[in-house]
Structure 1
């Protein structure tokens, strides 16, 4: 039986927390990646997001990023593996504290933005991130770009991993995401995005920007929550997956 997890980045706001898109998205996704204060979020937002996710029985994940609020963690920084290890440890530990106080359990870790992309290609950074996670809790699941160096690092150290694919992003022939700065990086047509996900889950392939079909493993699908129609798309995608006989659930 085919099954897939739907995850979404959440808690990426500041100050007085208002129920908004996160609250609606939690009706449709199965895993929440909660910002830990470096690229977005703050203590009050972290706690409020944890409470919302627990109320909806959504699996909780840490979403550590680079310390770059102005750039939303999407700009590369020249950091060492030791710095990556400490950044990830610090951010996971902060979120774990809120989750423990609210009576929940941290289930997974997904790096954010530039840190995610850098670790997808750099073995030293990937190894450092995987080691930080493993040192905190070897039962945590590491989310990473499908087939990437980060996934390999997780396997090597003994972590469970989730190969992540993207509904609204296009792919290059080497399996990486098309950089956001390039035209065609984002898929704005809902039906195209849905069809891409269904094919990745059922056929284990994705069509790149050059028209080439390449193999891909889809354990979890990232839905970006900052789009105007994010909640509508999440609902449509979940419905279509179920119609295709694909179970939508968080990884055990």
Structure 2
């Protein structure tokens, strides 16, 4: 039995430090690397890619709405031509940096508001799918587990990777608790590790209302910008491996 463990990295910007990429890369099997539209500067992104290559960590393009000020967490009503070009641009930029770092981009994971919006919005979802296919149809697409996007992407011929979140609260319908509501972000490493073992073993998580929600996931995300993120990711990995579950990139498990 195996599952992927991923984190959002490359998000530091100039003097503003976000997360501990070097430490997190020693724990995860896949890294969603910022492309400069919600966070990340070229030099910092390149360093993260070099570190990931040295650790043998799989690389994904963490594409976003163009929203540096809002960290990509604000919805944007972009025209299709603009959104498609934006996603193509970001993937291409990361591909160039990855080549220089001796690695390559193998999948795409939308970030923040874009990730959540295209989980249910058919038009913007189609734009992101079209952009990924235009660059490289062999790229995987990471999607919220159980979302409409998972079906749309598969119908379009993309490989989909369904994802669960270690450090985010779930609602009874399987969606994430909005960040401005109580229970949205979880901080206790032991509690998070226990619920991810439940996810890996039973395919379920306990929602904020106490109900049990079925979540069939190929990958688990620990946000790199969360307080104590490295400790949380380490505890999740330890708990899973102690139970006989192998941590391996979803791209290697194909």
Same fold by TM-score greater than 0.5: yes
- In structure 1, the residue matched to 2:191 is 192
For the aligned residues, what is the CA RMSD?
1.6
**Secondary structure of the structure 2 residue equivalent to 1:143:** strand
**Secondary structure of the structure 1 residue equivalent to 2:43:** helix
Report how far residue 241 of structure 1 moved.
Answer: 0.3
**Secondary structure of the structure 1 residue equivalent to 2:12:** coil
Structure 1 runs not aligned, ≥5 long: none
> Are 1:131 and 2:124 an aligned pair?
no
Aligned residues: 251
Asked if the contact 2:172/2:213 (under 8 Å) is kept, the reply is yes
Asked if the contact 2:18/2:225 (under 8 Å) is kept, the reply is no
* 1:157-236 aligned within 5 A: 157-236=156-235
**Secondary structure of the structure 2 residue equivalent to 1:121:** coil
* 1:1-252 aligned within 5 A: 2-15=1-14, 21-251=20-250, 252=252
Structure 2 runs not aligned, ≥5 long: none
Asked if the contact 2:19/2:224 (under 8 Å) is kept, the reply is no
CA distance in 2, matches of 1:147, 1:202: 17
Asked if the contact 1:4/1:247 (under 8 Å) is kept, the reply is yes
Q: CA deviation digits over 1:168-188, x for unaligned, max 9?
A: 111112211000000111112
Asked if the contact 1:17/1:48 (under 8 Å) is kept, the reply is no
Asked if the contact 1:17/1:44 (under 8 Å) is kept, the reply is no
CA distance in 1, matches of 2:127, 2:146: 18
**Secondary structure of the structure 1 residue equivalent to 2:230:** helix
Q: CA deviation digits over 1:116-156, x for unaligned, max 9?
A: 01111101111111121122111111001101122222201
Instruction: Indicate how the Cα distance of structure 1 residues 116 and 187 shifts in structure 2: closer, same or farther if over 3 A, else same.
Output: same
CA distance in 1, matches of 2:174, 2:245: 23
Instruction: Indicate how the Cα distance of structure 1 residues 208 and 55 shifts in structure 2: closer, same or farther if over 3 A, else same.
Output: same
**Secondary structure of the structure 1 residue equivalent to 2:40:** coil
**Secondary structure of the structure 1 residue equivalent to 2:6:** strand
TM-score when normalising by structure 1: 0.95
CA distance in 1, matches of 2:165, 2:17: 27
CA distance in 1, matches of 2:126, 2:4: 25
Report how far residue 18 of structure 1 moved.
Answer: 7.6
**Secondary structure of the structure 1 residue equivalent to 2:107:** strand
CA distance in 2, matches of 1:117, 1:188: 21
Deviates more, 1:78-87 or 1:236-245: 78-87
Instruction: Indicate how the Cα distance of structure 1 residues 146 and 19 shifts in structure 2: closer, same or farther if over 3 A, else same.
Output: closer
Q: CA deviation digits over 1:62-88, x for unaligned, max 9?
A: 001111111101111111333221111
